[in-house]
Structure 1
Amino acid sequence: MAVDWREYAEGVEKQLEQLRRDLEPLESGRMKLGEREGSNAWRDVTQEAIDRNRQVIATYEAILKDVRENRIKD
Protein backbone atom coordinates (compact mmCIF):
# COMPACT_ATOMS: atom_id res chain seq x y z
CA MET A 1 0.00 0.00 0.00
CA ALA A 2 1.42 3.36 -1.06
CA VAL A 3 1.75 6.18 1.45
CA ASP A 4 -0.18 9.35 0.68
CA TRP A 5 2.51 11.83 1.73
CA ARG A 6 0.21 14.85 1.42
CA GLU A 7 -2.28 13.26 3.78
CA TYR A 8 0.54 12.29 6.12
CA ALA A 9 1.85 15.90 6.10
CA GLU A 10 -1.64 17.21 6.86
CA GLY A 11 -1.83 14.86 9.85
CA VAL A 12 1.52 16.09 11.14
CA GLU A 13 0.38 19.72 10.67
CA LYS A 14 -2.76 19.05 12.73
CA GLN A 15 -0.70 17.46 15.48
CA LEU A 16 1.64 20.47 15.48
CA GLU A 17 -1.33 22.82 15.83
CA GLN A 18 -2.58 20.86 18.84
CA LEU A 19 0.85 20.73 20.45
CA ARG A 20 1.22 24.50 20.08
CA ARG A 21 -2.25 25.07 21.58
CA ASP A 22 -1.34 22.80 24.50
CA LEU A 23 1.96 24.60 25.05
CA GLU A 24 0.58 28.15 25.09
CA PRO A 25 -1.09 28.11 28.56
CA LEU A 26 2.04 26.57 30.07
CA GLU A 27 4.37 29.15 28.55
CA SER A 28 2.08 32.04 29.47
CA GLY A 29 1.84 30.89 33.08
CA ARG A 30 -1.93 30.40 32.96
CA MET A 31 -1.47 26.72 33.73
CA LYS A 32 0.97 24.87 35.96
CA LEU A 33 1.67 21.15 36.14
CA GLY A 34 2.79 19.25 39.19
CA GLU A 35 3.43 15.76 40.41
CA ARG A 36 3.62 14.05 43.74
CA GLU A 37 5.00 10.68 44.74
CA GLY A 38 3.36 9.09 47.73
CA SER A 39 2.88 11.58 50.53
CA ASN A 40 5.73 13.83 49.43
CA ALA A 41 5.11 17.47 48.58
CA TRP A 42 3.90 18.47 45.11
CA ARG A 43 6.69 19.34 42.70
CA ASP A 44 6.22 21.85 39.88
CA VAL A 45 7.02 20.11 36.58
CA THR A 46 5.73 22.87 34.31
CA GLN A 47 9.13 23.73 32.82
CA GLU A 48 9.86 20.05 32.18
CA ALA A 49 6.57 19.76 30.28
CA ILE A 50 7.37 22.92 28.29
CA ASP A 51 10.81 21.58 27.39
CA ARG A 52 9.39 18.19 26.40
CA ASN A 53 6.65 19.77 24.27
CA ARG A 54 9.15 22.04 22.54
CA GLN A 55 11.31 19.03 21.70
CA VAL A 56 8.32 17.12 20.32
CA ILE A 57 7.34 20.17 18.24
CA ALA A 58 10.89 20.45 16.86
CA THR A 59 10.85 16.75 15.96
CA TYR A 60 7.49 17.04 14.18
CA GLU A 61 8.68 20.16 12.34
CA ALA A 62 11.75 18.25 11.13
CA ILE A 63 9.59 15.34 9.99
CA LEU A 64 7.25 17.70 8.16
CA LYS A 65 10.17 19.50 6.48
CA ASP A 66 11.62 16.19 5.31
CA VAL A 67 8.29 14.98 3.96
CA ARG A 68 7.71 18.22 2.08
CA GLU A 69 11.22 18.36 0.62
CA ASN A 70 11.76 14.69 -0.17
CA ARG A 71 8.43 12.93 -0.47
CA ILE A 72 5.90 15.32 -1.97
CA LYS A 73 6.46 15.86 -5.64
CA ASP A 74 4.46 18.54 -7.46
Structure 2
Amino acid sequence: MIAQPVQPVAETPAPTAKGQNADLRLVIEEDVATGAFVYKTLDRRTGEVVQQLPRESVLKAMSSEDYQPGMVVDTRD
Protein backbone atom coordinates (compact mmCIF):
# COMPACT_ATOMS: atom_id res chain seq x y z
CA MET A 1 0.00 0.00 0.00
CA ILE A 2 1.40 3.37 -1.00
CA ALA A 3 0.63 6.15 1.46
CA GLN A 4 -0.56 9.35 -0.14
CA PRO A 5 -1.31 12.64 1.60
CA VAL A 6 -4.99 13.16 2.31
CA GLN A 7 -6.33 16.44 1.02
CA PRO A 8 -8.22 18.66 3.48
CA VAL A 9 -11.97 18.18 3.22
CA ALA A 10 -12.92 21.62 4.47
CA GLU A 11 -11.16 24.68 5.72
CA THR A 12 -13.18 26.63 8.24
CA PRO A 13 -11.85 29.52 10.31
CA ALA A 14 -11.84 28.59 13.99
CA PRO A 15 -13.25 31.06 16.52
CA THR A 16 -10.76 32.53 18.98
CA ALA A 17 -11.36 33.32 22.64
CA LYS A 18 -12.35 36.89 21.73
CA GLY A 19 -14.96 35.69 19.23
CA GLN A 20 -12.84 36.61 16.21
CA ASN A 21 -11.90 34.07 13.58
CA ALA A 22 -8.34 32.77 13.62
CA ASP A 23 -6.61 32.04 10.33
CA LEU A 24 -6.32 28.27 10.83
CA ARG A 25 -6.63 25.26 8.57
CA LEU A 26 -6.95 21.53 9.12
CA VAL A 27 -4.52 19.16 7.40
CA ILE A 28 -4.98 15.39 7.52
CA GLU A 29 -1.96 13.23 6.69
CA GLU A 30 -1.14 9.55 6.97
CA ASP A 31 1.93 8.76 9.08
CA VAL A 32 4.18 6.52 6.99
CA ALA A 33 5.68 4.60 9.92
CA THR A 34 2.41 3.72 11.68
CA GLY A 35 -0.29 4.10 9.02
CA ALA A 36 -2.25 6.30 11.45
CA PHE A 37 -4.00 9.46 10.32
CA VAL A 38 -2.53 12.64 11.79
CA TYR A 39 -4.77 15.69 12.20
CA LYS A 40 -2.91 19.00 12.31
CA THR A 41 -4.31 22.46 12.90
CA LEU A 42 -1.98 24.97 11.21
CA ASP A 43 -1.75 28.75 11.46
CA ARG A 44 -2.01 29.89 7.84
CA ARG A 45 0.12 32.98 8.38
CA THR A 46 3.09 31.36 10.14
CA GLY A 47 2.76 27.72 9.09
CA GLU A 48 3.08 26.78 12.78
CA VAL A 49 1.37 23.60 14.00
CA VAL A 50 -1.11 24.79 16.63
CA GLN A 51 -2.37 21.32 17.56
CA GLN A 52 -1.67 17.77 16.38
CA LEU A 53 -3.57 14.57 17.12
CA PRO A 54 -2.15 12.06 17.86
CA ARG A 55 0.82 13.84 19.43
CA GLU A 56 4.39 13.17 18.25
CA SER A 57 5.13 11.15 21.41
CA VAL A 58 2.18 8.84 20.68
CA LEU A 59 3.27 8.36 17.05
CA LYS A 60 6.78 7.55 18.25
CA ALA A 61 5.43 4.97 20.71
CA MET A 62 3.21 3.47 17.99
CA SER A 63 6.16 3.01 15.65
CA SER A 64 8.19 0.95 18.16
CA GLU A 65 8.23 -2.81 17.69
CA ASP A 66 6.91 -3.60 21.17
CA TYR A 67 3.89 -1.25 20.97
CA GLN A 68 0.47 -2.70 21.69
CA PRO A 69 -2.83 -0.80 21.54
CA GLY A 70 -3.70 0.61 24.95
CA MET A 71 -0.09 1.07 26.10
CA VAL A 72 -0.44 4.86 25.99
CA VAL A 73 -3.34 4.94 28.47
CA ASP A 74 -2.93 3.57 31.97
CA THR A 75 -6.34 3.10 33.61
CA ARG A 76 -5.03 1.33 36.72
CA ASP A 77 -5.57 3.01 40.08
TM-score (norm 2): 0.31
How does the TM-score come out when normalised to structure 1? 0.32
Greater RCO (CA < 8 Å, at least 6 residues apart):
1
> Which one has the bigger strand percentage?
2
